[in-house]
Structure 1
Amino acid sequence: MHAKFPVTALALTLGLSLALPGHGAEPVAGKKPRPAAVEARQPEENLLPRVIFQSLLGEFALQRGDTRIGVEAWADLAQRTRDPKVVARAVEVATLARQFDLAMQLSRLWLEVEPESTRARQAQSSLLVLTDRLDELAPQVAVLLERDPGNIANNLLHLNRLLASHKDKKAVQRLVDQLATPYASLPEAHFAMAQAAVNAGDELRASTEIEKALLLRPDWEAAALARAQLQARLSTTSAISGLEDFVTRNPGAGEARLSLARLLIGEKRYDDARRHFDRLLKDNPDNPAVIYPIAMLALQQGDAKTGRQQLEKLLGTDFPDQSMLHFFLGQLDQEQKKLDAAFAHFMQVTTGNQVVAARARAAQILLQQGKPEEARELLHNTRGGNAEERTQLTLAEAQLLRDAGRLSEAYEVLAQALVAQPDNPDLLYDAALTAERIGKPEQLESHLQHLLRLQPDHAHALNALGYSWADRNQQLAEAYKMISRAMTLQPDDPFITDSLGWVQYRLGHLEEALATLERAYGIKADPEIAAHLGEVLWQLGRKDEAKKLLADAIRQHPDSEVLAAAIKKLQP
């Protein structure tokens, strides 16, 4: 009939998997069914017409959304007839209408007329949960547990789910302990107590109960996983050790092995993780939950062949994020110079966080194929879902124009975007670097100073402004302070380290500059860092070392204009 107030047996039950009888009254074993209350009334009280009329009135009222009349009709009928079916429907209607006090009164009536009814007791227990009356709940649930010994293990495991909405987790823990303790010979009882303890923040007690559960049932995978989760909060090594022992004794425990492999990846133990993933793939060759992490691990290890195989296999499964698969496959094809295949993959990225990045890469491919206007059109036709994505599209267009050598146009695109978003940090930073490349240091300084007013600890902005001054041999003391501040914020960044070495060189501190630049070059053998290091070596009189360094660098980066300029400067 209607969705909100279905005319069915009571839907709001305790949630325990107890076997329920039919919708009618539940006879006590050995006794004849109790005659309907309507028939037991005195002859002059013929309630049948009232039952028919009032039940129809109540249902029609509920269908029309008139909750007040619907609830009142069923409640009155329940009290008049004391018929279990009628009372059950009245409890259901009052509960769905969130009239919990009335529903509780009716549930007591239900138990009064049907004291052995499991369904009535379930309904009352549910109401006690909904009204946060845990102190009254224990006896009711205890009876329900006792009456269904065949499902006791499963019912114990459902206790915490039943009480999940209750805010007082300590009270829930006490209740679960009270209900589960009589069944301490069952591992599920200890698991339930462990869950309640975790929710209450009592991790020591949770660990103790999980260990008891595993002693009673050593091959229980769910308990092994719960123990690993607890251990990982304090020591990933302990969690790994426990899971390794478990999967050794239980080789077919796929979930435990998968969790172990993920923990190993987190510890950068990629070879060990790969071994477990290979076993998982052997046991579950078509499982996306196994194939995907294997693909990602292979790519992380530089095994493009395996990564591609697994990603292509995922395309034939029901893996939910097909766009992401196309994005990774596009990257692989782009790296291998298979531009048409890469473009096709990138254009199939239609959902998710990679849409803008995919369109930017597709536009770069069009540029490489000599189609700059088609590349720009592709970006213009890509709609950003939010302000951040629209900014990324602007940055992608600016990069496209820079790569095409159209630097002034790139700067104009960024400047126009800044009119609409004058405080956008990404636009300010990109505009500053582009201004430097077109020979507009004043605009560079203006953009970076604006950005630093917004974000005083923006390490790259500090570095860029400081380096710009150092490179032009201006405001060296201030440049040194800025770059030193950037180094404090990001001490292992090779380019910030290079800037510090360069400003040290400009200040005449050649030995310090040499040590700093050698450290930067050790982090990343970048051609610009090589050019700076070569110049410092030359100024220190170590010209042969400078020549060798620059020669080696130009072999690695034959198209570097920075290196070519450095060699020409030192060896005209």
Structure 2
Amino acid sequence: MLSFPVGSRARQKAIHSVSLPSIPSIVHAALLALVLAAAGPLVHAQVAPDTATPMLGPSFSPEVMYRILVGEIALQRGEPTLAARAYYEAARDAQDPTLARRATEIALFARQRGLAMDAAQLWQKLDPASDRAQQMVTTLGQPGASGDLKSDLEHVFADAAAKGQTLGDAFVQLNRALSTQPDKTAVYRLVSELAKPYPGVAEAHFAVALAGYNTGLSDLEIVAASTREIDRALELKPGWEPAVLVKADIMAKSSPENAVRYLNAFLAEAPASGAASRALAQIYVDQKRFGEARAVFQRLLDADPSDRELQFAVAAISVQMKDYSTAERLFQALKTAGFGKPGAVAFYLAEIAEETRRYDDALARYREVTDGDAAWLAKLRIAAVMGKQGNVEGARQFVAALEPDGRDQEIQAKQAEAQLLQDAKDYQGAYNVLNTALADDPDSAELLYDVAMIAE
């Protein structure tokens, strides 16, 4: 199924990034500290710390630079405890609050509560005006912060409500803070309990609905409850875009057509909502209504011709619609701009050349795909194109010379060789290749299926 990050990413950004300035608030700091540090009823979170290396001050000594380097290498090797210690020592020696904050975050991830407290206290000392540092120290110092996560979070929300802080923003961020918890039903129940004391807060109802959606909506009771919650959020906050998007997502699970009607009605009232337009386009893509999807993306692209993600979406849908001239023009522009993951745009351009029977161009373009996830597939397509040119034996030799990385790629190479023979109408040869491969891997469902199909 064709899917575009531009649709889902924009929707998630709109859902999770409400009131962006509030994200580094002391309430969110408390949520993060509790979720990462608590050993409560949910499985421990496994959130990796931000991997961005902090800016290195020109006054850092060689010893401090060395400890920072040790910390970064330890993170890359999956050793967060060592990284946290290295950053804490660097922060202590350099007396730098940015390094102290980094040490706190990594220590939380490593579940080194004592070290996290030491780093947070250093952070607070070096930056006494930082609300986040103060809240980290306060939260980590709570006796209950290492026990019942539910009770700790209830305390954070109650404290935020009592002090007039951004309670709504905290509820919006709650699902993000809990996003790596594997038991989504447990998260839904937790969020539901946390929201009960706040029936007049739209964001609390929103948080419950989003948590329900994140369960996959396989439970009809959760579906009904999530629908009620998101409807209540919209009653309290009419036209609120993140709630509109969650409601559309919930509707699309059971009736994509109803979700389409709902989003079109919303866009009639709020035509400037880019997130809603992207959500609508993604539903169209999921339903293989490519013409309507492209029209939505094209309208957005016309409004912002510099948006490369929208350009990519229009180009990819054009491929699905076999409008190769439009797709090629857009992908060529994207290639010139250096857009996308390694090899992705070049692979699309190679596919277009192959589909339009420009086989020499296709071979040249597939050979450009040397990095990224598409590199291996590009090699298999080179063999396929060679076969289409009539050079079946050369293509088989090319496949035989490949160096597969693991059993899956070994199977794919054999399937590619068999396909070459099958396309050349050498069905016995194709059967022999697959049967030999199956003897080496008798449990392969892919090979069993292919052998059965060609035997017919």
TM range (shorter): 0.5 to 0.7
Q: CA deviation at 1:228?
A: 0.5
Residue 144 of structure 1 aligns with an amino acid whose one-letter code is A
Describe the shift of the 1:393–1:170 C-alpha distance in structure 2 as closer, same or farther (beyond 3 A).
closer
Q: CA deviation at 1:138?
A: 2.7
Describe the shift of the 1:155–1:302 C-alpha distance in structure 2 as closer, same or farther (beyond 3 A).
same
How is 1:142-541 mapped onto 2 (pairs within 5 angstroms)? 142-149=158-165, 151-162=166-177, 165=181, 167=186, 169-178=188-197, 180-181=198-199, 184=200, 186-196=201-211, 198=213, 202-317=222-337, 319-351=339-371, 354-366=374-386, 374-400=394-420, 417=437, 420-421=440-441, 460=453, 464-465=455-456
Residue 169 of structure 2 aligns with an amino acid whose one-letter code is N
Please report the RMSD computed on the Cα atoms of aligned residues, expressed in angstroms: 4.3
- Superposed CA deviations along residues 3-31 of structure 1, whole A, max 9, x for unmatched, are xxxxxxxx9x763489xxxxxxxxxxxxx
| CA distance in structure 2 between the partners assigned to 1:14 and 1:322 by the alignment | 39
Q: CA deviation at 1:129?
A: 5.4
Describe the shift of the 1:154–1:292 C-alpha distance in structure 2 as closer, same or farther (beyond 3 A).
same
Residue 189 of structure 2 aligns with an amino acid whose one-letter code is K
| CA distance in structure 2 between the partners assigned to 1:393 and 1:206 by the alignment | 46
Compute the TM-score of the two structures, normalised by the length of structure 2: 0.60
Q: CA deviation at 1:147?
A: 2.4
- Superposed CA deviations along residues 317-342 of structure 1, whole A, max 9, x for unmatched, are 56443423323322221233322211
Q: Which has the higher contact order (CA 8 A, sep 6+)?
A: 2
- Superposed CA deviations along residues 251-304 of structure 1, whole A, max 9, x for unmatched, are 221111011012123334333323212111112323343223322322222211
Residue 192 of structure 1 aligns with an amino acid whose one-letter code is A
| CA distance in structure 2 between the partners assigned to 1:269 and 1:368 by the alignment | 31
Contact 1:257–1:276 under 8 Å retained in 2: yes
Residue 222 of structure 2 aligns with an amino acid whose one-letter code is D
- Superposed CA deviations along residues 372-421 of structure 1, whole A, max 9, x for unmatched, are 66534432332222223212223333444566788887676556545534
| CA distance in structure 2 between the partners assigned to 1:123 and 1:251 by the alignment | 45
Describe the shift of the 1:422–1:158 C-alpha distance in structure 2 as closer, same or farther (beyond 3 A).
closer
| CA distance in structure 2 between the partners assigned to 1:124 and 1:415 by the alignment | 65
Residue 175 of structure 1 aligns with an amino acid whose one-letter code is L
Q: Secondary structure at the match of 1:202?
A: helix
Identity %: 28
How is 1:128-139 mapped onto 2 (pairs within 5 angstroms)? 128=144, 130-135=146-151, 137-139=153-155
Q: CA deviation at 1:243?
A: 0.7
Structure 1 segments unaligned to the other structure (5+ residues): 1-10, 19-62, 68-88, 107-116, 431-450, 452-457, 466-572
Residue 153 of structure 1 aligns with an amino acid whose one-letter code is G
Residue 157 of structure 2 aligns with an amino acid whose one-letter code is V
Q: CA deviation at 1:355?
A: 4.0
Aligned length: 338
* Greater Rg over alpha carbons, structure: 1
Residue 206 of structure 1 aligns with an amino acid whose one-letter code is S
| CA distance in structure 2 between the partners assigned to 1:191 and 1:280 by the alignment | 27
| CA distance in structure 2 between the partners assigned to 1:376 and 1:344 by the alignment | 18
| CA distance in structure 2 between the partners assigned to 1:234 and 1:174 by the alignment | 26
- Superposed CA deviations along residues 483-534 of structure 1, whole A, max 9, x for unmatched, are xxxxxxxxxxxxxxxxxxxxxxxxxxxxxxxxxxxxxxxxxxxxxxxxxxxx
Compute the TM-score of the two structures, normalised by the length of structure 1: 0.49
Contact 2:30–2:136 under 8 Å retained in 1: no
Describe the shift of the 1:306–1:428 C-alpha distance in structure 2 as closer, same or farther (beyond 3 A).
same
Contact 1:261–1:277 under 8 Å retained in 2: yes
